[in-house]
Amino acid sequence: VSRVVNDEGGFGVETKARVLAAIDQLGYRPNLLARALITRRSGTIALVGPDLTDPFFAELADSVQRVLRTNGRTLFFASNDHDVKRQTDVLESLRSHAAEGVILFPAEGSSASLAATARSGLPVVLIDNDFRGPWIGSVISELTLGAEAAVEHLVSRGRRTIGMAANVASITADIPARREHGYRRALHRAGFVPRPELVAYGPPTIEGGRAAVDELLARHCDLDAVFAYNDIMAVGALQSLARAGRRVPDDVAVVGFNDIAICAALLPALTTVRINREVVAKEAMDLLLRIADRPNDTHPTVSVAVELIVRASS
């Protein structure tokens, strides 16, 4: 039966027919758990990030799931709630479930725990975070270039006082703040002196974006542009600006990051930097397979291009 089910050859045509008939009649389906026990392939991959409710994360899950469909695997989905302890628990649980790999947006301050993970025998691909070690690889979108393109675009539109609604996690984080980097670099190149008071911080949520822009408005009444860490912070920015009676884009231009589906439908439609989630998902899966194959090699970080999408908000 096993040889027929897996089509390994070494059986007669008549035997095959009998086996298939029985399978059909009994509604037999192979038990993947038992199979995994011996083949060491569970057929499962996990996606783990800080917040399942961020539409970008859901959209990435969709892309990952489409990739898995092509190779017959099933997706685990979990959040770490920006918490290193939870993340450790989740990764350990996934290891117990024998996941073949996990695609991870690491919680802030994960470095130490990731170093430990690196010995666990669970392939991990980090998204937008560089970290080297056995069993670990990275896929990184060109966030710095994307941020530069966004800010250059604002400068070219004649904006002078360009604020940023940044992710509060980047203050303490072991994680490089690529978007802030790009923001500063572009301002510098355009001949502006980046002013620290033009960067306000908040959690990467709608509310966080609103609060950050409230703060920027309180500090600078001449604010004429906002570059946000991600699209949902940009949504919060739009809300803050509307409450303050500033028109977008006439008074203040807004640019987001990620290009979630709603961007194009907002009023005004949101200019943003598109992350190519299909490519990120595909590259992450491929890298996971390479790591599983040669865990102790150092696998080069995969870089994925981004694209500025200009819409009405700027």
Partner DNA sequence: CTGAAAGCGCTTACAG
Looking at residue 199, its amino acid is V
Residues 6+ apart with CB under 8 A from 213: 163, 165, 200, 226, 236, 237, 240, 241
Least separation in angstroms between residue 169's CB and DNA is 35
Say if residues 159 and 169 touch (Cβ distance below 8 Å). no
Task: State yes or no: residue 31 binds a copy of itself (CB under 8 A).
Answer: yes
Q: Token pair for residue 180?
A: 């802030």
Cα-based angle 89, 95, 97 (whole degrees, multiple of 5): 105
Candidate residues 28, 97, 160, 264; the one interacting with DNA per rule CB under 7 A? 28
In the list DNA, a copy of itself, none, the entry touching 25 (Cβ below 5 to 8 angstroms by class) is none
Instruction: Draw the binding track, 38-77, toward DNA (x: CB under 7 A; -: no contact).
Output: xx--------------------------------------
Work out which of 3, 6, 22, 30 binds a copy of itself, going by CB under 8 A: 30
* DSSP helix/strand/coil, 108: coil
Query: Quick one: tokens of 141?
Result: 């979108």
Q: How far is the CB of 7 from DNA (least distance, A)?
A: 11
- Exposure string (b/e) for 179-198, b if CB count within 10 Å is 16 or more? bbebbbbbbeeeebebeeeb
The alpha carbon of 96 is separated from its chain's Cα centroid by a whole number of angstroms, namely 24
14 is a site residue for DNA (CB under 7 A): yes
* Residue 124 or 145 having the CB closest to a copy of itself: 124
59 is a site residue for a copy of itself (CB under 8 A)? yes
Q: Which residues bind a copy of itself (CB under 8 A)?
A: 27, 29-34, 36-37, 42-44, 47, 51-55, 57-59, 61-62, 65, 74-79, 92-98, 119-120, 206, 210, 232, 235-236, 238-239, 242, 261-262, 264-267
Q: Which residues bind DNA (CB under 7 A)?
A: 1-3, 5-6, 8-12, 14-15, 28-31, 34-35, 37-39
